[in-house]
Structure 1
């Protein structure tokens, strides 16, 4: 990065609960303290929270994965499996969205909280996760496969 070119970073948390959004607050605060231009992205709920803390930051609408949880613990895995095609579609859509946003806004860094589609091979990308060991409840092989997918990005 050239010292004359100001760093412009996109920060985008996942929409699976507000923990993803709130844990980005100290990161955004530190980036702003260091003079980085921060662009935020997310859904309306995330915008409401982040705009309260960072009214100076541009906020871009970004659709979430819109996951529906099971009312019963036993149905959790099957409900998640049925949503898997929609999750993959959302990941592809956010990757396409990112390419357009990079071109429009001149973004030169990305911090994503569990958003698998927010990466660009020629830019620094940070992927934040709290799920280092995902337990599927479907056995060791399923856990290993899901972990390997999670570590791939």
Structure 2
């Protein structure tokens, strides 16, 4: 099964609330599913809801507090994950119980989970959406096995990558039950242009890494004319830097940029696949996936 084959379904959807990448890449997928005559039920945080509503995605929105990762911001993601691990296990079990209740209450026929391990049902077809079928090698054997175990509990796996033109390298190697569904980006149907010398920075990722990146760009480019797309204004900025905290307004700035400065999260890479812009990509320190992707593209 692939997205284009779905119609007249009652679909329950959730996206991981680690940064905004999972929400970003779901926008065009959800629009497609709605256009094909499916009824959407989106389990999401208040922030995720405001983003989806900003893109006029028709759905019944169901409040979900999300996992709420707690990061220190020291660049040691192995330790960061260890600090969250027991809370993570409990959340997965709680998430599955909540999902079963929602499936029954809203007569759901299909569940779509963008990297939410517990968001599945034993009663209806449940599909796990990811680009990261395999974790980066440095994640370790134990983490890899746990990831595979949780992922394999779903009926199917949709890989957001292309079988021939792979953006995720070895991370998106196919496995049983998996299907490549191609690239998804909110920019895929948007016209773009180039304003000469226009630089746009994009702030993303979990806190406090977003704040750190904001401050780094402001310091590094403080003498440049720059537009920053950011979840919030973390600090005062020089007059030559404009900060935009609205997604839709930010999209117009990104579409007209000549150069983009951002993290190299996978959703950003899919955006760049459609935008065809110059980009300066800076991995989040210690984030193994971004470090792997940086190395992968540098080798190319």
Q: Per the alignment, do residues 90 and 18 of structure 1 end up closer, same or farther by CA in structure 2, a change over 3 Å counting?
A: same
State yes or no: 1:128 paired with 2:126: no
Instruction: State the match for 1:42 in structure 2.
Output: 44
Q: Unaligned 5+ residue runs, structure 1?
A: 1-5
The answer (yes or no) to whether the contact 1:91–1:116 under 8 Å persists in 2 is yes
Any conservation in 2 of the 1:119–1:125 contact (CA below 8 Å)?
yes
Greater helix fraction, Structure 1 or Structure 2: 1
Task: Measure how far apart 1:34 and its partner are.
Answer: 1.0
Aligned to 1:3: none
Cα deviation, 1:87-117, whole Å, max 9, x if unaligned, reads 1111111111111111111111111101111
> 1:138 & 1:34 partners in 2: Cα distance?
38
In the TM superposition, what whole-angstrom CA distance separates every residue of 1:55-77 from its partner, at most 9, and x where no partner exists?
5311001121111234222x321
User: Is the Cα–Cα contact under 8 Å of residues 117 and 151 in structure 2 kept in the other structure?
Assistant: no
What value does the CA root-mean-square deviation take over the aligned residues?
2.1
Q: For residue 31 of structure 2, what is the aligned residue in structure 1?
A: 29
Partner of 1:115: 116
* Alignment-derived partner of residue 62 in structure 2: 60
The answer to which structure, 1 or 2, has the higher relative contact order (CA under 8 A, 6+ apart) is 1
Residue 152 (structure 2) pairs with residue 152 (structure 1): yes
Q: 2: distance between equivalents of 1:76 and 1:36?
A: 38
TM-score using structure 1 length = 0.85
Partner of 2:97: 96
Task: Report if the CA contact (8 A) 2:34-2:58 is conserved.
Answer: no
Q: Which of 1 and 2 has greater Rg?
A: 2
With 84-93 and 123-132 compared, the bigger mean Cα shift is at: 123-132
Q: CA deviation at 1:118?
A: 1.3
How many residue pairs get matched?
147
Distance 1:36 1:30, change over 3 A: same
Hey, what's the Cα distance between the residues in 1 that align with 2:96 and 2:81? Answer: 21
Unpaired segments ≥5 residues, structure 2:
1-7, 154-300
Q: Is the 8 A contact 1:41 1:60 kept in 2?
A: yes
TM-score, normalised to structure 2, is: 0.45
Asked whether the 8 Å contact 2:128–2:151 carries over to 1, the reply is no
Quickly say closer, same or farther: Cα 1:23–1:38, change in 2 above 3 A: same
